[in-house]
Structure 1
Amino acid sequence: MPHKRRATSKRVFINNIDSYSSRNIAKFLSKVVLRVMDEEEEQEEEGEEVHHNHAFQMVGTVSNLSDEPPPHILEEYCHPKKEELLSNLMECQVIIYNISQDADQVEEASWAVKALHDQKEHFTSLKIFILISTVMTWAASIPLDPEDPELPFTDEIFYCRRAHPNFKKHIDLEKIVVKAGKSNREIFSTYVVASGLQYGMGEGIFHFFFKESWLGEASEISIYGHGKNNIPTIHVTDLASVVQNVIEYQPRPYYLLAVDLSHNTLEQLVKVIATALGPAKTVNRPFEDIYLNQELTLMEIDSLQVNLRMEAVNVENLLSVYWHCEGGLVENVDLVVEEYRLSRGLLPLRVCLLGPPAVGKTTLSLQICKHYKLHHITVRDTIYKAMAELEGIVKNPDPDAEEVAAEAQELLNSLNESIDSEDVSEEQLKMLRDKMTSNQCKNQGYVLDAFPSTYKQAEDLFEEFVLVLDATDSFLTDRVINLPEETVQDLGYEPEKFLSRLAIYRDNTQEEKSVLNYFEELDISTVLLEATNGEEPATSLLMHKIFTTLGPPRTYSPSPQEVEEENRRIAEERLKKEAEERAVEEQKEEEETRIRAARWEEWTQRSEASRMLEELHLDILTKQMRSYLMKNVMPTLGKGLIECCRIQPAEPLDFLAEFLFRNNPHDHPPCGEDSSENCGFPALFD
């Protein structure tokens, strides 16, 4: 048996391992496996063995430490000091610095290659330094042939390249890296890989166009400038494959272009993205408008202006790259769109909500759509919208397409005939399918309200969740009775129609081949929900059950602008609520003040009347007393005082008392008990 040799895994460092480009390169390299091969190549086919050992152990720097490193990362370092970073680099056989997306890493990469070059005498084995740069270091290059603008640049003439003014530091670093590897390539080998604009696996620079198309909020996707500039591109997986080949084959040229075979313009790229994901319409805007876009960095804005035709000659001739998207983004747009959805978790949420009439399906559907940002689909709305579009075609026919107008009229007539039917016609079903397969519904998903109603109709659907909202017949009947007359007319809930529809629904659910049976055959579990009267907390419990079943939203997290707008909206609502509460409180205080004033006025009036009565009573009493005093007391008292003044006794009071006693005009004994009548003194307290 031929002798076998085992390849050893390499420790690979890559900077910014949590960024879009470096993360995907690290993931790709971490999946590469080692093989145990025959020592002699001619005997490989006889006894090759594959050992699933990782060829590369990935380590790198991150902007923020995670609780647990991703499974494809062995170690991660967060903002290490230079001494610590150099120590980590010395432990690695391959050092990759990616500056294709982050200009802030240029300075660190320059320091790293110089520090490693200074330490090369201490290397115990070959170290490979790979700088992933950008084609923007070619952006200002003079055309090779002014008469032939189609003639591409190749990496064989890299020494003629000229950088974009904002990428001077990048090209200076490229020169430093190339020079550092020339002294002793057996100990320290360096490479520069000039990458085209990267796409795929969730998107980087083109993410804005993917996101705008996916959201579907704009009727047209913007193309900034004329869009005729050729943009060199490469799928990020293909870039990772180029890096892998450089590590494994160590080609002699130290400068390589990494671009695919496409020569697509910005206009072609945006149009194909808009068609695959969005409204399929684009609009050219002045390039200056791009600076108003807060989602694009200045580096990305500069890159979108590049106009280069390039060919990766060294990659094609010297490496064995297994291309993922060699033809470019336009040619592989369906694959790239699927990667975009999977990488970002933007999978459509398809929900079917069933139930008897008047159970509240539409209200519940709209609440689900609002929470998950889904599209609400009903047969009625879909048909009416289609009919409106057909009427527009009929009223404004294209002179060059008379057949289209005739077909539209024929279809419109057919829809008008079947619009009031309880059954769904083939034309209506086709329109419903077209709606569900539109880009918007394929992107975010939808809630299909009150459809399908039969087993056959369900066969044309591919739902993910089925919710059944139900209630007793008496509950539904009471709800319809309490609806406004106008609503009853609009929804067709007249007594006879409603009871007929309710009976049809109950019969359909009891059939052997019902809608629910169809979904059960597909292992799509149905969630039974009990209708509520719309009051808390029953409604909250119902929505909680639905949200738990459907899981978290599958859409973008709010952008900083959206968060700011939401915070502003919440603040405005809070201020409005506070103002309303303050107004209510002020009104309450005014009412209390008015009541207090009224009570005070009433009490004052009552007090005044009481005081006047008391004064009148006192006046009557004092009048009697004055009369008595003047008649019976004052004459004798006056005489006594005069006599006292004349005699001037030593004890005036005793003298006056004795005088009054002796000269009492009434010749009767002193007043005793129950003698008020004899005294002639008024009964003051009667």
Structure 2
Amino acid sequence: MRCFISNIDSPAGHNFSRLLASTVVGSRKDPEAEEEEPAAGEDDGEKKEEKPKEKYQVIGTLSAELGVPVAPSSPGAMFETGDKKRDQARREAIEKFAVRGQKPAWVESLVQNNDRDVLKQALLSCDVIIYDLNQCLDEASWAIETLAELTDTFLEKPKVFIALSSIMTWAKTKVDQDDPEAFLAEDEYRRRKAHPNYKNHIQIEKNIMKFGKKSALKTYVIAAGLVYHSGDSIFHHILKAAWHNEEELVCYGDGSNVLPTIHMDDLTNVIVEVVEFQPEAKYLLAIDDSKHTLYEITKAISDGLGSGKVKKVAKEMALLNKSLPQIDFDMILVNLRLEPGHVKEMTFEWKYETGLIENLPALIQEYKDARGLSPIKIVVHGPPASGKTFYCEKIAQFYDIHYVEVDAVVKAAIARLERKAGVQDPVDEEDTGEAEKEQLDELKDAMRNNNGKVPEEHILNFVKEKLRSMPCRNQGYILDGFPTTLDEASAVFKPNEDDIKDDKSPNIDELTAPDFVLTLEVSDEFIKERIMNLPEAATADTKNSEESLMRRLEEFRNANTDESTVLNYFDELEIHPHPVSITSNESETVMEGITRYIGKPHNYGPTLEQLEEKKRLDDEAKATQIAAAEEERKMREKEEEERQVKAVAEWNIRMEEIRKQEQEVLEAQSVPLRNYLMKYVMPTLTTGLIEVCKVRPEDPIDYLAEFLFKHNSPST
């Protein structure tokens, strides 16, 4: 049987197609249609020839862009842990994650919805057509009208048209205001009144049901509640904020509005049941049994994944949330008490029938599995002054996990106790508590008896509390140089008494146990050379002064022999330490080896704002680089021009000097000749010229020549 599903890359289309493609046609009506295993002892030769099981063949279209700017969303990477049940759950969660613009592997082929003739032929070739009105309203309207016009051509093999709509077409339906428990039943759908933004939906719903009165075309409208799942669902912005450790989750409005909800897996089963059974009812409400309010849902997510705090803000503030599109804004503010009808009679096994809150732990785990949001927990061990803090901070930044340093943890814990006990400027009266005051008094007494130092027992408790905090459980942590002894490791990572149920319980706290233990292997000579190269002001009166460093190195080497090292604790628990050899100051090479060993980050990746900021910074850097290059070019041109001007000036000066020198040489060389001419030639020549003037011969030149020859003295 052939099925057409619109927008197969949307969460709904992706999951509808996934389940249909794996479903044997008629298997829900006839359980024997499911694949059976051969009876015990039955030989292959005795097997009866089985009729091949026909599964639904799925074709569909891809989504158009919805116009809402969002950061790229993709499923997490699959990795095997050895726990078959957990691995299978993670694999299914990743498989259910829809990626826009990507065809699922189980879909037979794609149809181009921009060519209505091609789309029409695809619809006519299918037995079941499923359209999501929330994704492609106009196309669904065209499709049902086109099929209605051609019903006579498929009388022998009727088609099934299923429209997935929304409970928002009920949003303005009136109920008994005097009865706070009043609800709207499924069979009252004829008097439903739609939200202003869903008036087109309700009109198309009516047209679909009208066209379904013909026997050759069976139509169904399924009004789904607020659909939640591990992907980009209606409650994703709340889950994401909680996972990112927002101090308080935001509840828009007073939060008293009741939200009809349904999990995607249950909605998918409703669709398949309709395809298989083709019930008499043409309008179905697909919602679970819960009657939770927006505040209750937000508070439950905050308790299960975040800080446990919720603040109420004006509902108009939601419009400032870029990750909350208008369609989701309308949905989370709806207030409806609906009672489903036919879906409660269906035969499938509900996954979240009692609603989101009762099944929140499973949803959170599915949410983390689908997106690969597992914490990365790291312990870094190594000798003093080996660069532990430097590499811990770089690793924490790369993996976006929490940097945990013992002294900072202790200071923060004491400050928190003082604040809650009302010693230092309490935020409000609710923050003050007798328990915190008693704990603070006990700590101060212990410090007075320990020369003003925090006792080790309290330090271990503070560190354990930090590692069990929700931020460290969400993103993970990197523990800088702690624990240092077997006793410290055992105290910090031992499970709580409540977690120990029997002898088979693990002897390490799975919530806080590290995934990786890095041990920095650095020689004493390298450490000494490294510290010696530091400015004296950076090491004076610190733990890295020469005397203190030598003492600390000696203590570390004595405490970390093959028999006594804290690394043995992790080794015995099969958390095998990974050696990181440091022989030079090339930190990039060391970091490359560490990240290759640990793997990729297990977080969301950059947000839309971070991507925009990165693009802005890249553009600014590029513009700065271009401006700097242009400035450098202009400077080079100016310098070249100045150099040429200077060179020309120097050339002219040199040429003038040469001319002067040549003139002086010529003048010096001409002095004897001039003297000769003045003494022997010029008197005779002058006399000859005077004679020419007196005689005025016809040929003065010839006369002058003859005169000079006649009067030329022997000395000339």
TM-score normalised by L of structure 1: 0.81
- CA change 1:345–1:616 in 2 (3 A) is same
The superposition leaves residues 476-506 of structure 1 with CA deviations (integer Å, 9 ceiling, x where unpaired) of 1111111233432586211232223333433
Report the counterpart of residue 17 of structure 1 in structure 2.
Answer: 8
- CA change 1:413–1:53 in 2 (3 A) is farther
- CA change 1:428–1:489 in 2 (3 A) is farther
CA distance in 2, matches of 1:645, 1:520: 131
1:62 aligns to what SS in structure 2?
coil
- CA change 1:476–1:344 in 2 (3 A) is same
Q: Retained in 1: the 8 A contact 2:404–2:478?
A: yes
The superposition leaves residues 126-174 of structure 1 with CA deviations (integer Å, 9 ceiling, x where unpaired) of 644332211111111011x221132111102222211112212222232
Tell me which amino acid in the other structure corresponds to 1:405: K
Report the counterpart of residue 365 of structure 2 in structure 1.
Answer: 338
CA distance in 1, matches of 2:307, 2:121: 52
The superposition leaves residues 624-659 of structure 1 with CA deviations (integer Å, 9 ceiling, x where unpaired) of 765554444333322222234444567655654554
Report the counterpart of residue 174 of structure 1 in structure 2.
Answer: 205
Q: Which moved more, 1:74-83 or 1:412-421?
A: 412-421
Please state how far the C-alpha of 1:453 moved relative to its aligned partner.
2.7
Report the counterpart of residue 299 of structure 1 in structure 2.
Answer: 327
- CA change 1:457–1:130 in 2 (3 A) is farther
Q: Retained in 1: the 8 A contact 2:62–2:101?
A: no
Report the counterpart of residue 639 of structure 1 in structure 2.
Answer: 687
CA distance in 1, matches of 2:411, 2:20: 53
Report the counterpart of residue 228 of structure 2 in structure 1.
Answer: 199
Tell me which amino acid in the other structure corresponds to 1:549: Y
Q: Retained in 1: the 8 A contact 2:447–2:455?
A: no
Report the counterpart of residue 473 of structure 1 in structure 2.
Answer: 524
Report the counterpart of residue 42 of structure 1 in structure 2.
Answer: none
Report the counterpart of residue 407 of structure 1 in structure 2.
Answer: 439
- Matching of residue 355 in structure 1 with residue 387 in structure 2: no
Report the counterpart of residue 236 of structure 1 in structure 2.
Answer: 264
- Matching of residue 327 in structure 1 with residue 354 in structure 2: yes
Q: Retained in 2: the 8 A contact 1:469–1:529?
A: yes
CA distance in 1, matches of 2:154, 2:633: 79
Please state how far the C-alpha of 1:573 moved relative to its aligned partner.
1.8
Tell me which amino acid in the other structure corresponds to 2:240: K
- Matching of residue 577 in structure 1 with residue 625 in structure 2: yes
Q: Retained in 1: the 8 A contact 2:417–2:436?
A: no
- Matching of residue 554 in structure 1 with residue 598 in structure 2: no
CA distance in 2, matches of 1:69, 1:334: 30
Please state how far the C-alpha of 1:531 moved relative to its aligned partner.
2.4
Please state how far the C-alpha of 1:463 moved relative to its aligned partner.
1.9
- CA change 1:153–1:387 in 2 (3 A) is same
Report the counterpart of residue 674 of structure 1 in structure 2.
Answer: none
Tell me which amino acid in the other structure corresponds to 2:259: I
Show the 5 A alignment for 1:202-217.
202-216=231-245
Q: Retained in 2: the 8 A contact 1:249–1:319?
A: no
The superposition leaves residues 521-556 of structure 1 with CA deviations (integer Å, 9 ceiling, x where unpaired) of 444454433326445xxx444333333333333222
The superposition leaves residues 578-618 of structure 1 with CA deviations (integer Å, 9 ceiling, x where unpaired) of 44455556566666667777777777777767766666666
Tell me which amino acid in the other structure corresponds to 2:163: L
2:465 aligns to what SS in structure 1?
helix
Identity fraction in percent: 35
Report the counterpart of residue 96 of structure 1 in structure 2.
Answer: 130
2:622 aligns to what SS in structure 1?
helix
CA distance in 1, matches of 2:698, 2:659: 47
Please state how far the C-alpha of 1:85 moved relative to its aligned partner.
3.9
- CA change 1:595–1:396 in 2 (3 A) is same
- Matching of residue 138 in structure 1 with residue 184 in structure 2: no
CA distance in 2, matches of 1:59, 1:642: 127
- Matching of residue 371 in structure 1 with residue 398 in structure 2: yes
- CA change 1:424–1:587 in 2 (3 A) is farther
One of 281, 284, 290 as aligned partner of 1:256: 284
Please state how far the C-alpha of 1:195 moved relative to its aligned partner.
0.9
Please state how far the C-alpha of 1:101 moved relative to its aligned partner.
5.2
CA distance in 2, matches of 1:544, 1:183: 67
Report the counterpart of residue 191 of structure 2 in structure 1.
Answer: 160
Please state how far the C-alpha of 1:82 moved relative to its aligned partner.
4.3
- CA change 1:181–1:669 in 2 (3 A) is closer
Q: Retained in 1: the 8 A contact 2:8–2:103?
A: no
CA distance in 2, matches of 1:417, 1:617: 105
- CA change 1:424–1:71 in 2 (3 A) is farther
- CA change 1:384–1:30 in 2 (3 A) is farther
Q: Which moved more, 1:605-614 or 1:426-435?
A: 605-614
One of 505, 526, 529 as aligned partner of 2:556: 505
1:392 aligns to what SS in structure 2?
helix
- CA change 1:630–1:90 in 2 (3 A) is closer
Report the counterpart of residue 277 of structure 1 in structure 2.
Answer: 305
1:395 aligns to what SS in structure 2?
coil
Please state how far the C-alpha of 1:98 moved relative to its aligned partner.
2.6
Tell me which amino acid in the other structure corresponds to 1:387: I
CA distance in 1, matches of 2:119, 2:451: 72
Please state how far the C-alpha of 1:301 moved relative to its aligned partner.
2.0
What do you get for the CA RMSD once the two structures are aligned? 3.9
The superposition leaves residues 363-386 of structure 1 with CA deviations (integer Å, 9 ceiling, x where unpaired) of 223333333322222222222222
TM-score normalised by L of structure 2: 0.78
Tell me which amino acid in the other structure corresponds to 1:407: Q
- CA change 1:364–1:192 in 2 (3 A) is same
The superposition leaves residues 333-365 of structure 1 with CA deviations (integer Å, 9 ceiling, x where unpaired) of 222111111112222222333332222232223
Tell me which amino acid in the other structure corresponds to 2:519: V
CA distance in 1, matches of 2:519, 2:533: 23
Q: Which moved more, 1:613-622 or 1:629-638?
A: 613-622
Q: Which moved more, 1:347-356 or 1:576-585?
A: 576-585
Please state how far the C-alpha of 1:84 moved relative to its aligned partner.
4.2
- CA change 1:656–1:355 in 2 (3 A) is same
CA distance in 1, matches of 2:635, 2:585: 31
- Matching of residue 432 in structure 1 with residue 457 in structure 2: no
Q: Which moved more, 1:448-457 or 1:197-206?
A: 448-457
Structure 2, gaps ≥5 residues long: 34-47, 65-98, 494-511
Tell me which amino acid in the other structure corresponds to 2:682: M
Show the 5 A alignment for 1:574-613.
574-583=622-631
- CA change 1:133–1:565 in 2 (3 A) is same
Tell me which amino acid in the other structure corresponds to 1:354: H
One of 492, 516, 524 as aligned partner of 2:543: 492
Please state how far the C-alpha of 1:413 moved relative to its aligned partner.
5.9
- CA change 1:525–1:110 in 2 (3 A) is farther
- CA change 1:345–1:119 in 2 (3 A) is farther
CA distance in 2, matches of 1:458, 1:101: 54
Tell me which amino acid in the other structure corresponds to 1:286: A
Q: Which moved more, 1:481-490 or 1:191-200?
A: 481-490
Report the counterpart of residue 451 of structure 1 in structure 2.
Answer: 482
The superposition leaves residues 251-296 of structure 1 with CA deviations (integer Å, 9 ceiling, x where unpaired) of 4322221212222222222232233333433333332332333323
Report the counterpart of residue 62 of structure 1 in structure 2.
Answer: 62
Q: Retained in 1: the 8 A contact 2:14–2:104?
A: no
CA distance in 1, matches of 2:520, 2:150: 68
Tell me which amino acid in the other structure corresponds to 1:99: L
2:472 aligns to what SS in structure 1?
helix
Q: Retained in 2: the 8 A contact 1:376–1:446?
A: yes
Report the counterpart of residue 122 of structure 1 in structure 2.
Answer: 156
Tell me which amino acid in the other structure corresponds to 1:157: E
CA distance in 1, matches of 2:565, 2:53: 52
